[in-house]
């Protein structure tokens, strides 16, 4: 997500106007037929207690050290589990936030509580993790790109000291991701680096705010590079970042215009929380990469669809589109309707962050997906 702005960079004689737009075998249970549904609901953002939760233990905050390129990066994560005696092994849901200027574990909290709080069937736990450079994780000045983010996700799952190592060792985990996070998880799975039992892609995207509007030809790539370099620079970078991203009016504008479907759901508390994230040390480095397309896991709609096709028959894949996403983003989501590798396609209320704006609707759809693929049949 990027705020609307008009940027002049005289050194390259151009001006850019931009607006951004989860012992059962799922393979044995999995049906290859394609399912597509529309979900209609008036449910809006609700940060109250989950509707059907018994006692849940949330271990938060917690951190894990990611070793990368000579750096030791503190990674923030939160775990959700039922309290009380455990009469069966847990299965873990890894929830990964949408990559954006203001990405945070907070967007998945209610969904995690809703699903973990279900008092029937499999004993699900959930782990939400912040990306390096975003949320409450450290934000070192790395050369962020899609490969770096994919390596992080793979390392978080597969490292011996991973917070989900017990479930990952037996591949007893599923991945729920939003936006670019979903597509990066699909790519890592297609390439064999991740081996989840299922994937849910919530409002999946592949193009950053500028590339989805202006494309990725060589001329534009040169301009993106100049903008990216400027944003990463010590002094002028902060100044430009404060204009484009790190101000409350810009954040409120993007939330009301394309992040949320209903502007009335954008509360002062949300804006204040997201604004605080943009003021953390090193906050501008990942947004500089995301805005200019360096975090894009593919380069075209054809590659996007091919990624999902690569999972055909291998594991259940849910794609969750939204009714009010921006036109260009919506077109990319719709390209996955009936596509190979997509075992179920649903549409829910919302725009680019339905898991935050309509968490109970999203949680219900995700839990239904889990029931269909993992719960024992009567």
Per-residue pLDDT tens over the stretch 7-33: 333 333 334 444 333 333 333 333 334
Q: Is 70 left (phi over 0), alpha (psi -120 to 50) or beta?
A: left
Confirm if 349 and 261 have CB atoms less than 8 A apart.
yes
Band of pLDDT at residue 247, cut at 50, 70 and 90: very high
**Mode of pairing for the β-strands spanning 14-18 and 35-38:** unpaired
pTM: 0.86
Check residue 259 and give its pLDDT: 97
Residue 116 backbone phi and psi in degrees, to 5? -65, -30
Q: Could you give the C-alpha distances from 237 to 7, 241, 285, 295, in angstroms and in order?
A: 13, 6, 10, 19
Reported CATH class of domain 24-215+291-374: alpha beta
Q: Could you give the C-alpha distances from 20 to 181, 190, 365, in angstroms and in order?
A: 17, 28, 27
Q: Could you give the C-alpha distances from 161 to 128, 130, 132, 166, 193, in angstroms and in order?
A: 16, 17, 17, 9, 17
pLDDT tens sequence across 155-199 = 999 999 999 988 777 788 999 999 999 999 999 999 999 999 999
In the chain, where are the structural domains located?
24-215+291-374
Check residue 59 and give its pLDDT: 55
As a whole number of angstroms, the distance between CA 40 and CA 339 comes to 23
What's the token pair of residue 95? 């929830």
Burial class (CB in 10 A: 0-12, 13-18, 19+), 112: buried
């Amino acid at each position: 997500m990027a705020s609307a702005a008009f940027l002049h960079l005289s050194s390259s004689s151009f001006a850019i106007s931009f607006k951004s737009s989860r012992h059962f075998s799922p393979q044995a249970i999995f049906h290859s037929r394609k399912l597509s549904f529309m979900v209609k609901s008036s449910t809006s953002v609700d940060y109250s207690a989950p509707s059907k939760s018994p006692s849940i233990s949330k271990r938060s905050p917690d951190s894990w050290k990611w070793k990368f390129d000579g750096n030791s990066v503190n990674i923030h994560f939160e775990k959700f589990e039922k309290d009380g005696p455990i009469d069966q092994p847990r299965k873990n849901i890894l929830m990964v936030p949408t990559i954006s200027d203001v990405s945070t574990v907070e967007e998945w909290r209610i969904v995690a509580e809703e699903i973990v709080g279900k008092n029937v069937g499999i004993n699900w736990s959930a782990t939400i993790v912040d990306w390096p450079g975003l949320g409450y994780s450290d934000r070192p000045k790395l050369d962020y790109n899609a490969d770096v983010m994919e390596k992080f996700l793979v390392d978080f799952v597969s490292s011996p000291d991973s917070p989900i190592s017990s479930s990952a060792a037996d591949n007893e985990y599923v991945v729920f991701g939003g936006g670019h996070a979903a597509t990066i998880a699909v790519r890592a799975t297609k390439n064999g680096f991740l081996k989840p039992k299922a994937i849910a892609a919530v409002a999946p995207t592949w193009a950053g705010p500028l590339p989805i509007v202006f494309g990725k030809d060589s001329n534009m790539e040169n301009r993106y590079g100049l903008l990216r370099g400027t944003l990463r620079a010590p002094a002028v970078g902060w100044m430009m970042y404060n204009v484009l991203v790190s101000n409350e009016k810009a954040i409120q504008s993007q939330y009301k215009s394309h992040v949320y479907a209903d502007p009335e759901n954008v509360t002062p508390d949300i804006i204040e929380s997201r604004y605080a994230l943009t003021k953390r040390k090193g906050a501008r480095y990942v947004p500089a990469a995301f805005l200019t397309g360096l975090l894009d896991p593919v380069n075209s709609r054809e590659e996007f669809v091919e990624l999902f096709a690569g999972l055909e028959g291998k594991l259940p894949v849910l794609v969750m589109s939204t009714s009010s996403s921006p036109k260009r983003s919506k077109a990319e989501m719709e390209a996955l309707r009936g596509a190979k590798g997509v075992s179920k396609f649903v549409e829910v209320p919302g725009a680019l962050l339905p898991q935050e704006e309509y968490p109970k609707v999203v949680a219900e759809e995700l839990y239904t997906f889990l029931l269909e693929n993992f719960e024992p049949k009567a």
